[in-house]
Structure 1
């Protein structure tokens, strides 16, 4: 009786972990319009975090903050289009479910009325090794699914650079020229006179 209650509790925990992992993010807020407002320009960087582009983003933030102190700069992870994002969430949920099953010694095969395979018994016998391998293998697959190579730049919600389309990062001088061209009629942004080129 107690083992049945323990299994039911473990299955409940597994289901809650899976639901949490697959939970979708809330709807995006609609930004307020900027007409008639004296608002500083906003530059947004969407980059591939799993590709290691966060350092490049921080370098651009430092360079742009030095030359254009009035521009507000935001950065976020670029979610890959299509099913890759959802597949990575599914892999994450399966990884958590398998690790919790191994740690709690709950066999999903017996819960489904199937014979337990030998490899599952091997996982149960080597829990630490099995959990580490499941974790790292799951992370590797997730990384491959969400790796987009993106470094997308928008200025006031207008796309100004796409690494996906060009295949490269913009040189700082090119980005300065793009900003100057986009903001040539704006009085809010002025170049820092102390900026060293």
Structure 2
């Protein structure tokens, strides 16, 4: 069974993006290259990824992927986009558009990942759905020295300390990298 990992950057006060879904706050932080240095190692262990429609649309527009689909970041990883809306397709990319609940989707995602991990790219509510379904194993955060007055929350669910265990803390440039394991509801 693959592990499910939420790996993301967040502000100090727990926002993924501002109210307009912008990540400009993240790109302005000095030392981001150092924080991203281990990302290729992380990505090599990913067999499937899942993202919500807001994350997907941000990637499409920010990277100009509709005009240049060959720039898709994850050509060798099965990608799932969850949405109830019809979204632009990326020719040549293995992007599977699905709707419905996480539990119904889980067998297909797990099969696509095989022996490797599943990366929940975002957003926070989607991660919350995986946590609610008992399919979240790890949270990896790169915490940036930025605060926002409001925005898109990191994980709009209540997870108590008895279900989270701090595994590691590392400094990478201006970022604090935190890794928490998540105890599934059925575990003691």
TM bucket normalised to smaller: under 0.3
RCO comparison, higher one (Cα < 8 Å, 6+) = 2
Larger % of helix: which?
Answer: 1
Q: TM-score, normalised by structure 2?
A: 0.19
Q: TM-score, normalised by structure 1?
A: 0.19
Larger % of strand: which?
Answer: 2
